[in-house]
Amino acid sequence: MIQSPRPFRFEFPPSAVAELRQRLALTRWPDELEDEGAAAGLPLAQARALVEYWQGGFDFAAAEARLNRYPQYLIDIDGLDLHYVHIRSPHAHARPLLLTHGWPGSVLEFFEAAPRLTEPERYGGKAEDAFHLVLPSLQGYGGSPPAKKTGMSPRRIGRRQARLMAELGYGRYIVQGGDWGSVVSHYMAVDDVAHVDALHLNLVTIAPPRDLAAAMKDVQPHELARVAAAEKHRREGMGYYRQQSTRPQTLAYALTDSPAGWCAWIGEKYGGWSQEAAVDRDTLLTQVSLYWFTGTIASGLRLYREFSQSLQRKEGPGQVTVPTGFADYPNEIVRMPRAWCERAYPLIHWNEQPRGGHFAALEQPQLFAEDLWAFARKLRAHEAQ
């Protein structure tokens, strides 16, 4: 059962802001080794500077206004609300595009890219490149409240988002995502193939082929470094993933109680996964504040365990059959060789971007939009064949 959408606004109540500032003032700081730097995590000086700014310099009212920039709603699907932003293009012919964010992100990631996608002619594109945008919050993130029982896996989230698109009257649409958004979008392309026209990703994680020696013959010379970097990330950069996919509840006590701990946990990810500090501290702290004030820190972590358990139940992602595009950003945490991606997806578009990292739309909104314009043009040509 689906009920009619209701308007929604993010709110940072003054009393909650005051409590947060008090908690930040009482932070107990750990020591650190003088000669290790960032190898063991976010350095103490960086963490203190970020927390002190959050406490005394950050403009909470401006952050709240920024999050409410576009029309957004809640819709009840089977007794659980789903939050989404809906931005219609002024061009009636615009193609519906569902953009799904990841962790530790939110719908805010797409706000700067949004006008470029809905009115491309103002940013170097053409009117025929326009999209109508639907930006849902992952269940248990931001405006979408958590499920109360297990089972809210990426696949189930995708099915709920497909129902949202049907409710909005979009019979055909494109799905796009990075991080968890790539997983959810993949599932949607498989499960809602009757309505999904195409899939676009800016993160692909593919298990190395079983015959790795043979598979490496298809890797281009300039791609060798990314294979090595992906392996290094699996060895050294997956601690957060293992904890969140096995014991998220234990971690949630610390991060939900300590705003400084939460800020450092997320600050490390934005610092290491984006390129050249492309995400400024006000944007970072807007994301950090969003989770804090909506009470979705624990449920955001929980999605990792839900996904792990779904894989243990042999709920594999399935084979994508719709036309697929991929944008490769140089500072992404895991980058796959093109040949491996071509084995896994029916690629019609591949674009190696000059700049950007894990939070592609947030870091490089113009490049992100231009890539989607190019993908849509190739899709139109493909459909015309």
Exposure string (b/e) for 107-122, b if CB count within 10 Å is 16 or more?
Answer: bbbbbbbbbbbbbbee
Burial (CB count within 10 angstroms: exposed 0-12, middle 13-18, buried 19+), residue 13: exposed
CA gap 128, 144 in Å, rounded: 32
CA gap 115, 110 in Å, rounded: 9
Contact 202, 180 (CB under 8 A): no
Q: Where are the beta strands (DSSP E) in the chain?
A: 6-7, 72-77, 80-87, 95-100, 131-136, 173-177, 196-201, 324-328, 347-352
Residues whose CB is less than 8 angstroms from the CB of residue 177 and which lie 6 or more positions away in sequence, other chains included = 99, 100, 101, 102, 183, 184, 185, 201, 202, 203
CA gap 103, 144 in Å, rounded: 14
CA gap 363, 333 in Å, rounded: 14
Contact 181, 340 (CB under 8 A): no
**Which residues are catalytic, by number?**
179, 304, 358
Instruction: Give the DSSP letter string of 127-141.
Output: GGG-EEEEEEPPTTS
The verdict on whether omega for the bond into residue 146 sits within 30 degrees of 0, i.e. cis, is: no
Dihedral angle over CA of 208, 211, 214, 219, nearest 10 = 0
Instruction: Give the DSSP letter string of 301-351.
Output: HHHHHHHHHHHHTT-------S-EEEEE-TB-SS---HHHHHHHS-EEEEE
Give the tokens for residue 92. 């009636």
Contact 288, 262 (CB under 8 A): yes
Residue with tokens 């499920």: 147
